[in-house]
Amino acid sequence: MLKDFAKLETFLTVIREHSFSKASAKLGISQPAVTQQIKFIEKYLDCKVIERKKNGVILTKEGEDLYRIALRLEKCINSAERDLIKIINKEITFRIGASFTIGNFVIPGKCLNNIKEVIHNDVQVKVELSAQVIDDIINKKIDLGLIESPVFKEDVIYREWLDDELVIFSNRPLPRYLKPDDLRGFRWICRNESSHTRKLVKEVFEDIGFDCNNLDVLYEVDSTSTLKASILKADKDESNPPVVSVISHAAIADEVESGMLYEAKIRGYRIKRKLYIAYSKERKHDAFIENVVGYLQQAKC
């Protein structure tokens, strides 16, 4: 069994995810396949290693021993893979597709430079809609995708990456927390109809009993960068209501710190979403992919 680390990798993933189904999604294999691999390990060792409970999974005593051994093996394998990358030393450009918020505000600068060091090659980032990122993965136009919208396709593996929070923001001071009725008192710049951000915000507003048709919408824009620029240049005349919109906190963190922009949240609600790493199932054992994914999940940029 030690010669086939894939089964131990499945075991480790089940423990880390506390779930057979979540491990299945993370590994890009079916849940019955996950169960089958765990059963193989238990048959091989002639003992139970995992107990399935209503709230997740727990290790048996033998399972705890196996977990420690598997962690040591994983560490050795990861180290060996990094050494192999140095030997392979392919002259390639690693291509990343990133959705607008991630490509423009989450990974630029230090994060990209660190990825270059991890794989010893150049990195190129293409910024586009999440749906286009997934299409480019399937069509082999990029090596890896970073997306903010859950566009799930069968041939793609998705790994949860970062938690992102959306906030209401303006170029004028706002109360720290807003009540639903406060939303009627603003003028709004919105993302276009196809935007995942807009769909998510609409769902939250409906949850708090607010009808989006009651918003005073000035106009719509098609990207996070345009949205931020529009709010920065918006009318500041205090005789008029503030101009506001909704954006990822990551996209305006610097401007909020410097006092150029102000953010607010809806009282009792947090507009949160997951950011995902995505890549082709065909490349799930690719050393370059695994090294970049490992870095992103550890460093969190």
Q: What are 171-226's pLDDT values in tens digits?
A: 999 999 999 999 999 999 999 888 888 888 888 888 888 888 889 999 999 889 99
The fraction of the chain above a pLDDT of 70, given in percent, is: 95
Are 60 and 50 a contacting pair, CB within 8 Å? yes
Query: For residue 145, what pLDDT is reported?
Result: 97
Q: What is the mean pLDDT of residues 150-170?
A: 91
Where are the chain's structural domains? Answer: 5-89, 165-272
How sure is the predictor about 239, in pLDDT bands with cuts at 50, 70 and 90? very high
CATH number of 5-89: 3.40.50.11540, 2.40.50.140, 3.30.559.10, 1.10.10.10?
A: 1.10.10.10
Integer Cα distance of 267 and 78 in angstroms:
45
Are 95 and 126 a contacting pair, CB within 8 Å? yes
Query: For residue 166, what pLDDT is reported?
Result: 95
Residue 6, pLDDT above cutoff 90: no
Query: For residue 264, what pLDDT is reported?
Result: 97
Q: Do domains 5-89 and 165-272 have the same CATH topology?
A: no
Residue 85, pLDDT above cutoff 80: no
Q: What is the mean pLDDT of the chain?
A: 89
Decide: helix, strand or coil at residue 120: coil
Query: For residue 301, what pLDDT is reported?
Result: 66
Q: What is the mean pLDDT of residues 137-163?
A: 92
The fraction of the chain above a pLDDT of 90, given in percent, is: 55
Those residues whose C-beta lies under 8 Å from the C-beta of residue 266, and which sit 6 or more positions away, are 168, 177, 178, 179, 180, 204, 208
Any idea which of 40-49, 52-61, 132-141, 285-294 has the lowest mean pLDDT?
285-294
Residue 150, pLDDT above cutoff 80: no
Integer Cα distance of 16 and 217 in angstroms:
45
Q: What is the DSSP letter of 215?
A: S
Integer Cα distance of 248 and 265 in angstroms:
12
Query: For residue 103, what pLDDT is reported?
Result: 92
Residue 293, pLDDT above cutoff 60: yes
Residue 53: count of CB within 10 angstroms of its CB? 9
Residue 82, pLDDT above cutoff 90: no
End-to-end CA distance of the chain: 35
Cα dihedral 83/86/92/98 (nearest 10): 40
Residue 87, pLDDT above cutoff 60: no
Q: What is the CATH number that goes with domain 165-272?
A: 3.40.190.10
Write down the H helix ranges in 53-121: 61-88, 100-101, 110-119
Q: What is the mean pLDDT of residues 264-273?
A: 91
Q: What is the mean pLDDT of residues 11-31?
A: 89
State the sign of the Cα–Cα–Cα–Cα dihedral 64, 70, 76, 78. negative
H-helix or E-strand spanning residue 204: helix 196-207
Those residues whose C-beta lies under 8 Å from the C-beta of residue 246, and which sit 6 or more positions away, are 166, 167, 168, 169, 191, 197, 201, 271
How sure is the predictor about 2, in pLDDT bands with cuts at 50, 70 and 90? low
Cα-flanking dihedrals φ and ψ of residue 135, to 5°? -60, -40
How sure is the predictor about 90, in pLDDT bands with cuts at 50, 70 and 90? low
